[in-house]
Amino acid sequence: MRITLAQLNYRVGDFEGNLSLIKRAVSKARGEGSDLVIFSELCITGYPPLDLLENINFLKKADRTLHNIAEECRGIAAVVGAPVINTSPEGKKLFNAAMVLSEGRIIFTARKALLPTYDIFDEYRYFEPGREFGIFEFKNKKIAITICEDLWDEQPDENYFGKSRLYTVSPADELAGLKPDLIINISASPFSYTRIRVRQDIFRGKALKHGIPVVMVNQTGANTELIFDGGSMAVKKDGTILHQLPFFEESVFTFDLDELASGNGSRETSVPGHTELIYKALLTGIRDYFGKSGFKKAVLGLSGGIDSAVVLCLAAEALGNENVTALMLPSRYSSKESVEDAVILANNIGVKYSIISIEEPFKAFEEILKPAFSGRQADVTEENIQARIRAVILMAWSNKFGNILLNTSNKSEAAVGYGTLYGDMAGGLSVIGDVYKTDVYRIAAFINRDKEIIPQQIITKAPSAELRPGQFDTDSLPPYSVLDEVLFRYIEQNKPADAIISEGFEKETVEKIVSMINSNEYKRYQAPPILRISSKAFGAGRRMPLVARF
C-alpha cells in the first residue's frame, strides 16, 4: 500500500482555499499511485477555529466541504480532520473527528478522545471526547486513527509538578489491543522550540512500546499567534524515524508502507538547531500573519538597538525589503552612534527609512505639563512621554500608508514590565515578544552567519532605552544572562521562587524578578498578539488574573 503525507498550510475559515489545497494534494497523491492520503487535524476548518465552532453557518460550510472532498476521493482514500455534530442529547455539541473518505462517502470516523486544556489549548470548551476505539480495514491492512493529543497521554513535563501521565485513558493502549498494522495520527501541533525533540520521542516511544508503525501528519504555517512547524513523520515499529518532512514548509510525500517494515528508504533527518528553528518560525509567523490578513507592508521604529534590528531583518526577509519601512525617531538622549548604526542597517538590508526627531513634540509636552508638574523632578513620566510620542508617529505612519506596525519588545522586557504601555508596547503584531533577550542575540548572530548585516556595534553595545542621560537596562534589571535563566524557570517551568533560589540564584534577585513579573500582568494583558515560539508564551497560553494578591 502506498501512503501520502500531506503537510499543508491552512487558513482558518477559508473553506474554498483549504478545499483547493486538499484537492491538489489528492490529485498529486493519486498521480503517484497512492492508495491513502493523510491530512492534518481540523484541516477543513483550519486550526484553531476557536469560537467560530459556535457558528452554525461555519459548521454547515465545513460539512459541505467535507462532502466535496469525498467526491474527489475516487480511486484513492483520504483521512481528513473536521468537526462533526454530536447527535447524542448529552455532552458537547461537537466532536473533533478524523474521517476516512473513499469513493464519494465516509467509510470510517474516529473521534478525538483526549482534549487538552493546558497552555493555548481549550478544546473541551467545544468538543465532547470520543469514548469508543475502533479500527478499519483497508487494502488488507488494519488501521487505527488517532488525533494529535491521543498519542500525547504520556509525555515529559518541564512543569515544576513533574506529572507525565496527563489522562486516565490511553487511546494508544486501547487501539494496540485491537492489533492494527498501522497507527495514523493527524495533528495540529504548534511549534515550541523546547518540544520538537519531545514530539519525536513521543511518537517513537509509542511505536516502540506497541511494536506498531506510526505515521503522523502535522500542519504547517501560522494562524494568528500560533505557528505550526510541520515535521510530519513515518516511524518504524522499532522507533526509527524512516521519513520526516521538512520544517515550516508545505510538503506532499508518498512512500510504500512496506518500507516501515523492511527499513528501506531514507534514514532519519536532522533537526535544525535551536536558533535556526526560532528564526524560521518567526519568518513563518510574520509571513502568514500578513498574507492571511491581506496586508503587505510593515513599519517599525528602528532605534539602533538589537531588538528592533532583529525585527527589521526578520520583516524584510519575510515580506520583502520593499514592503518594510523603518522610522528612526531620535530624542535629545539618543546617541549619534545609535542613529548611524540604524542607518547602516537599513542600507545593508535595502529598506526605506525616515529620520523624524521627536524633540519638538517632546518640548511641547514639557511646556504644556509644566504648570501641572511644577515643583516635581523629572522621572519615568518624562521617559514614557518620549516612548508615547514615538508610538503616535509610528501609528500615524501606519494609518497614512496602510503599514502594520511591528512591535519590537522582547520576552525578557515584557516579563518584567520594562516597556511603556501605549508607547513602545504599541503595535499590530509582537514579533519577538516570546523571545528572551539572550535568544535575540543568538538570532542576530544567525542573521550575520554569512556576512555582517546587523552592524557589530549594535550587537556589542550595552542595551539602553536612551530615555535619559547615561541610561542602561542594567540600571533597572539584572544582567540578561541571569534574568532569562530565572524567567525561564518561573514562566516555562512554573517553579516557585524558593525552588529557583535553591538552584543557586541570589534570593534578592529572584524575589525582585518574581515581583516584577507578577505586578506587570496588566501591561501584558494589553499587548498585541505575540508570535508563539515557546511552550509558555504570554497571551492565551498564560492566563493570570489582573487583580490578585498571591
Tell me the average pLDDT across 444-455: 97
Catalytic residue among 41, 128, 225, 383: 41
Regarding beta strands 182-187 and 214-218, do their DSSP bridges make them parallel or antiparallel, or are they unpaired?
Answer: parallel
Residue type, 274: H
- Which one-letter amino acid corresponds to residue 349? I
Q: In this predicted model, which residue has the larger pLDDT, 106 or 160?
A: 106
Are the CB atoms for 458 and 309 separated by under 8 Å? yes
Give CA separation, 16 vs 57, 380, 548, in Å.
Answer: 14, 52, 45
In this model, does residue 142 exceed pLDDT 60? Answer: yes
Residue whose cell numbers read 518574581: 514
For residue 320, is pLDDT > 60?
yes
Amino acid identity, position 280: K
The residue to which cell 542607518 is assigned: 343
Which residue type occupies 210?
Answer: H
Q: What is the pLDDT of residues 86-107, one digit of tens each?
A: 999 899 999 999 999 999 999 9
The pLDDT confidence band at residue 454, using thresholds 50, 70 and 90, is very high
pLDDT for the residue numbered 269? 62
3-state secondary structure of 111: strand
Q: CATH: 3.40.50.1220, 3.40.50.300, 3.60.110.10, 3.30.70.100. Which one for 2-271? A: 3.60.110.10
Q: How far apart are alpha carbons 46 and 52 in whole angstroms? A: 11
Instruction: Output the pLDDT for position 157.
Output: 60
* 3-class secondary structure, 38: strand
Mean per-residue pLDDT, 279-292? 98
Residues 432-444 have a mean pLDDT of 98
Average pLDDT over residues 441-465: 94
| Beta-ladder partners of 97 | 82, 111
Read off the pLDDT of each residue in 378-400 and give the average, rounded to a whole number.
96
Helix segments in 320-358, DSSP class H: 336-349
Buried-state track 25-51, b at ≥16 Cβ within 10 A, e below 16? bbebbbeeebbbbbbbbbbbbbbbbee
pLDDT of residue 550: 73
Location of each CATH 3.40.50.620 domain in the chain: 278-473+518-525
- Helix (H/G/I), strand (E/B), else coil: 7: strand
- Give residue 308's pLDDT band: very low, low, confident or very high (50, 70, 90): very high
Handedness of CA 12, 14, 19, 24 (dihedral sign): negative
Is the pLDDT at 271 greater than 90? The verdict is no
H-only helix segments in 95-195? 171-176
Could you tell me which residues come within 8 angstroms of residue 548 by beta carbon, excluding any fewer than 6 positions away? none
pLDDT, tens only, 253-264: 999 999 888 755
Confirm whether 383 is a catalytic residue: no
Active-site entry in 72, 73, 128, 148: 148
The per-residue pLDDT for 165 is 64
Say which of 43, 72, 73, 112 is annotated catalytic. 112
470 confidence band (pLDDT: 50, 70, 90): confident
Percentage of residues in the chain with pLDDT exceeding 70?
97
Whether 41 sits among the annotated catalytic residues: the reply is yes
Strands (E), 60-147: 77-85, 94-102, 105-111, 135-138, 141-147
d(CA 159, CA 490) in angstroms, rounded, equals 10
Helix pair angle (480-487, 437-447), 10° resolution? 110
- pLDDT score, position 160: 54
Q: Per-residue pLDDT for 543 more than 70?
A: yes
Residue 265 has pLDDT above 70, yes or no: no
Cis peptide before 48 (omega within 30 of 0): yes
Superfamily of domain 278-473+518-525: HUPs (3.40.50.620)
Is the pLDDT assigned to residue 375 strictly greater than 80?
Answer: yes
Q: In sequence order, what are the beta bridge partners of 36?
A: 3, 77
**Whole-number pLDDT of residue 120:** 87
Q: Mean of the per-residue pLDDT values for the chain?
A: 94
| Distance from C-alpha of 42 to C-alpha of 23, rounded to nearest angstrom | 15
Question: For 195-234, what is each residue's pLDDT tens digit?
Answer: 899 999 999 999 999 999 999 999 999 999 999 999 999 9
Chain length of the chain: 550
Q: Please tell me the predicted confidence (pLDDT) of residue 156.
A: 63
The pLDDT of residue 469 is 84
Residues of the chain with CATH 3.60.110.10: 2-271
Q: Compute the average pLDDT of residues 144-169.
A: 77
Grid cell listed for 432: 519577538
227 strand-pairing partners: 222
Average pLDDT for 9-21: 98
Name the grid cell of 410. 522582547
* pLDDT for position 517: 95
Amino acid residing at 204: R
pLDDT at 467: 78
